[in-house]
Amino acid sequence: MVEVKVQSLGLDRSSNTPVVILQEKNGSRVLPIWIGPSEASAIAMELAGMKFSRPLTHDLFASIIGGLGGQLRRVVITRVVDNTYFAELLIQRGAELFSIDARPSDSIAIALRVGATIYTSDELLEHNSIEIAEAPEFESPSESPREEPVEEGLRADELKEYLRRLNPEDFGRFRP
């Protein structure tokens, strides 16, 4: 398994779909995962350190895990089938280790909230990764295209505003 971190959020220009970019912790390969706008917003808000007086869905789930005596040990992005990524939440409670099937976007949002590590397989990184030089395919959700790549990441307020303005009809499906 290869540990990865959230490198940035971007927007696929061909489909106007948010993309979370995972980068291997001790390397340069990156893995883009196309996600929904609400999950992108949840990830962006956590990366920006935004907190709300009432728990949002991913905060609630993190509280439930802890309240039931569990601890999220890690998230594993396991595979991709027909352009759909799969993940598992590995939760430990006492001596028991539970594996729960989940969407990568939700898993990442929860992992960020509790400080859990994120992993994927070397094979998945090898076959589905992009080189950092390809990052200009993903742009900031601003009014005009950016000149520079999104390597440094999106500002949470930019992503939030763009997502607020999107219509459901604007979303396409990623096709490699």
Taking only the tens place, the pLDDT of each residue in 10-63 is: 888 888 899 999 999 999 899 999 999 999 999 999 999 988 889 899 999 999
Q: What is the CATH number of the domain that holds 45?
A: 3.10.690
Task: Examine residue 46 and state whether it is found in any structural domain, yes or no.
Answer: yes
**Separation of alpha carbons 72 and 114, rounded Å:** 7
With b for 16 or more beta-carbon neighbours within 10 A and e for fewer, the 102-117 pattern comes to: bbbbbbbbbbbbbebb
Question: Is position 165 within any domain?
Answer: yes
Q: How far apart are CA 146 and CA 148, in angstroms?
A: 6
Q: Which domain holds residue 48?
A: 2-69+118-170
Whether 100 is in a domain gets the answer no
What's the pTM? 0.74
Asked if residue 175 belongs to a domain, the reply is no
In this structure, is residue 79 part of a structural domain? no
- Structural domains in the chain (count): 1
pLDDT of residue 51: 85
The pLDDT of residue 172 is 43
Query: What is the longest distance spanned by two Cα atoms in the chain?
Result: 53
CA 68 to chain centre: 25
